Chain A
Amino acid sequence: MTAHSAPRTPAPAAGDTARGPTRTAADRTPAPAPGRRSAAPGAPAPSGTRRPAAGSPLRDRVRSAGLPYLLLLPALALELLIHLVPMATGIVMAFKDLTQEYISDWSAAPWAGLDNFRVAVDVDAPVGEALLRSFAVTCGFTVLAVGLSWLLGVTAAILMQDAFRGRGLLRALFLTPYALPVYAAVITWSFLLQHDNGLLNHVLHDQLGLTDGKPFWLVGDNSFVALLLVAVWRTWPFAFLLLTAALQNVSADLYEASALDGAGMWRQIRHITLPALRPVNQVLVLVLFLWTFNDFNVPFVLFGKSAPQSADLVSLHIYQSSFVTWDFGAGSAMSVLLLLFLLLVTAGYLLLTSRGRGSADV
């Protein structure tokens, strides 16, 4: 793996700063344990001026080494409390037969072993089949929604790159969906998408006459399109915002120089703009992916507790499988599976995308 063989120069990776103090302490210890990670060769040496004279009091050393940890402690405790404890609880729940019978005393619920998982992945049985279908719908939805959002975002960002009259106004307008509260915005959409009195059908059918009858958007197969429409409308301003910010860093000189060399707009976009946006895109696409994949608010507000099959996103599906039907063990097992999947995708994505970039950094 190329990532492993990258030259070991003292790159200021984020982890290094956190490990700094340990290393400082280790450096001062006369004989550090061989192979200790903190004493890895090539680690940045602590600034020479601070290296204390031999025989300084132990207390002093502990104090200077411990302070950063002390400062980190509150954040760490909160992180544990807010993220890890509920998550661990959720994982434990996945192995229990937790139904309404035990909801007021979780610890009394009998262990179910892998039963919950077995039911969830048994695609020949109705529960597993429904989960798989929902998962497939979510994957398709996510790819389309992220793709479209990114495309819209990058197009708009590039078009807005040069100053022109009214640019500020347009930018503000583009960002409105992102600024609106989700519930209010999506409820408005659900009105627009109504069969009888919705604006969309009024325009499509009554005014333009594009469709034979009025189509349904909130039930049946079209609901996938409706969901996609609303999701893209909600997400793309974020892509636009981030990419606009990133474009501020691209030097105008590059464009001028390339223009002198006879490069047209497409060549400029391909060879200057897009490469410059790469690091931002890497994060942006990942974040959009995770948000979209886990989206609960938009389908919930649009379709209620039971979504049409074609728009049955996995988060809503899990909600229905646990809260609405009182089977929390099964819901948790599905959540754990979802977590594993997202973990895998994210790790794979980061490895894949940072490979090329990493060596360029060094």
Chain B
Amino acid sequence: MRRFRTAAAAALVTALTAAASGCGGGSATKSGGSNDKPGELTYWATNQGSSIEADKKVLAPELKKFEKQTGIKVKLEVVPWSNLLDRILAAASSGQGPDVLNIGNTWSSSLQKSKALLPFDDARMADVGGADRFSKAALAATGAEGKPPAAVPLYSLTYALYWNKKMFRQAGIDGPPVTWDELVADGKKLSRGGRHGLAVEGGNPVENAHHAFVLGKQHGADFFDENGRPTFDQPGNVKAVKQYVDFLAEDGIAAKGNAEYAQNQSVKDFATGKAGMLLWQAARTSLLAHGMKPDEYGIAPVPFQDRQDATASGGKTKVNSMVGGINIGVFNHTDNLDGAMKFVSFMTSTKEQRILTDAYGSVSPVLEAQQAEPRDKDEAVLRSVLSSSAAPLPQVPDESKFETLVGTAVKRLFADAAAGRPVTEKTVREALTKAQQQMGK
């Protein structure tokens, strides 16, 4: 008996120790914020520039300015994009977190439902100058329609087509493609001698999901119906995903190796002339970091299905990008509510917006800041896309599930294609159906 007990106890302890889950105990204390600590703020910024150090250099002088104006010291932490969601979730569940934080604008609805952030009702909106100050597209990505936004827009981003001027000239192509057919044709001309027409980030689920969304819109499909239920395997979405994977599979304008790209290798491939085109959000600083100067590339809107869509009256399917970007929100458990609101006002002020978006190469969601002459051709294109043909990702609480599941399905299809397995409408539909079923419940 004793041996049995000893063995059982040992088994219990070992197994428990090894399998102990990473979930800490959490308790919700107060919510709605307080003003217990008016003298300081903690700010989680996302990594926007080429590195965390670069971001600190950009933000430090601005935070000093804020301290001078208000006497509030801001403790800055730049959180890498890949960790940000985990950190926010941990903060939300424990009640221990920053006072002010950046979120990816696609998480707005999910976080809105989590009540982790202070809602920007009319009064708080008025504190930061009113909703009218922000562009419509950016405001659309701050949470579900009709509810007070979870956070206000800070930086706007959008996809654009970057093309290598020299490679285009050498291949005898006049300018950037306007339709996908042209892009494929151009891509084939560019694909020779170890170079390829297009670089895609095939191993990155989030990138994949964004492209699937935009192409789906162009085929007249949506990934969620009006009741927020998933409709992943609609014919339009199947076409969209197949079209995207085919750049590697059938058209062969993307290198097979792109199937495993998940650490921005496609940016590097474009910057170093291994690929002639790239679909990316505000790539200027990253390209420069890889040694590609702004006059070496051209920037154009992402292609449409046909030329008609590209015109001003391009109807319902005139979508060629998602509204990307970063929102700034106030953590529900803040102990410096007034200071946090002051800081949000400061960061979204026209003056700061100009400084920050110039440094990061993004577009300001503040209309007043957009009135200045565009600083470069990049900003001119990004602004026009944002104002005329960008759509927000579905503002449903399950949005992040969509990005994960559809993005992963596309990643696996890319892997199949790269391994030489056929990717057909049937296999794409099966993959999307499976992803949809996993939305569960």
Contacts and interface: CB of A to CB of B under 8 A. Distances in A.
B116 A104 contact: yes
A350 B86 CA distance: 37
Interface stretch (A175-183, A227-235, A255-263, A323-331): A323-331
Interface in A73-125: 83, 85-87, 89-90, 93, 99-107, 119, 125
A194 B265 CA distance: 11
Most chain A CB inside 10 Å of its own CB: which residue of B8, B9, B114, B259: B114
Contacts of A103: 89, 92-93, 114, 116
B123 interface: no
A127 B203 CA distance: 22
B437 interface: yes
A38 interface: no
Contacts of A346: 11, 14-15
A294 interface: yes
A306 B407 CA distance: 9
Contact of B260 (A106, A194, A327, A350): A194
Nearest to B405: A325
A281 B54 CA distance: 51
A309 interface: yes
B427 to A, nearest CB: 14
Contacts, number: 190
Contacts of B205: 305-306
A86 B24 contact: yes
A21 interface: no
A1 interface: yes
A355 B37 CA distance: 62
Summarize B's interface: helix, strand, loop or mixed.
Answer: helix
B237 to A, nearest CB: 17
Contacts of B372: none
Contacts of A104: 28, 31, 92-93, 95, 114-116, 332
Given A86-B20, A104-B115, A221-B419, A195 B257 contact: yes
Interface string B43-72: 000000000000000000000000000000
Interface residues of B, number: 69
Contact of A101 (B114, B414, B437): B114
A177 to B, nearest CB: 21
A339 B397 CA distance: 30
A54 to B, nearest CB: 31
Interface stretch (A26-34, A64-72, A156-164, A212-220): A212-220
Nearest to B403: A324
A103 B94 CA distance: 9
Given A15-B9, A306-B205, A1 B4 contact: yes
A287 B20 CA distance: 15
A304 B21 contact: no
A126 B433 CA distance: 10
Most chain A CB inside 10 Å of its own CB: which residue of B17, B24, B25, B85: B25
Given A219-B411, A346-B14, A86 B23 contact: yes
A13 B397 contact: no
Most chain B CB inside 10 Å of its own CB: which residue of A89, A104, A220, A358: A104
B144 interface: no
A219 B418 contact: yes
Nearest to B414: A219
A125 B437 contact: yes
B26 interface: yes
A267 to B, nearest CB: 32
Contact of B434 (A8, A101, A119, A126): A126
Interface string B113-139: 111100000000000000000000000
B416 A87 contact: no
B415 interface: yes
A15 B7 CA distance: 11
Contacts of B203: 218-219, 304
A342 B17 CA distance: 11
B275 to A, nearest CB: 12
B262 interface: yes
Interface in A166-198: 194-196
B397 A93 contact: no
A348 to B, nearest CB: 8
Interface in A326-343: 326-328, 330, 332, 335, 338-339, 342-343
A210 interface: no
A13 B431 CA distance: 56
Nearest to A100: B114
A86 B27 CA distance: 12
Nearest to A89: B25
B345 interface: no
A332 B23 contact: yes
Contacts of B18: 290-291, 293-294, 342
Nearest to A87: B20
B412 interface: yes
Contacts of B116: 103-104
Interface in A1-47: 1, 3-4, 6, 8, 11, 13-15
B434 A323 contact: no
A339 B13 CA distance: 11
Nearest to A307: B408
A221 B259 CA distance: 13
B438 interface: yes
B401 interface: yes
A106 B20 contact: no
A279 to B, nearest CB: 13
Interface in A286-318: 286-287, 290-291, 293-294, 304-306, 308-309
A320 interface: yes
Contacts of B350: none
A113 B241 CA distance: 38
Contacts of B313: none
A11 B6 CA distance: 12
B105 interface: no
Contact of B23 (A14, A93, A327, A339): A93
A1 B86 CA distance: 48
A84 to B, nearest CB: 8
A104 B408 CA distance: 28
Given A86-B25, A101-B397, A104-B115, A218 B260 contact: yes
A85 B24 CA distance: 8
A332 B116 CA distance: 21
A3 B110 contact: no
A250 interface: no
Given A325-B401, A346-B11, A195 B260 contact: yes
Given A103-B93, A347-B7, 18 more contacts: A86-B21, A87-B16, A100-B113, A101-B115, A104-B95, A104-B116, A106-B26, A119-B440, A125-B437, A127-B438, A218-B260, A220-B415, A290-B14, A325-B400, A332-B23, A339-B16, A342-B15, A342-B18
The 10 A-B residue pairs whose C-beta atoms are closest, nearest first, are A219-B415, A347-B11, A290-B18, A126-B437, A105-B28, A196-B257, A306-B408, A346-B11, A90-B21, A350-B7
19 contacts: A86-B20, A86-B25, A103-B89, A104-B31, A104-B95, A126-B438, A195-B256, A216-B259, A216-B418, A216-B419, A220-B419, A326-B398, A328-B23, A335-B19, A338-B19, A345-B15, A347-B12, A350-B7, A354-B3
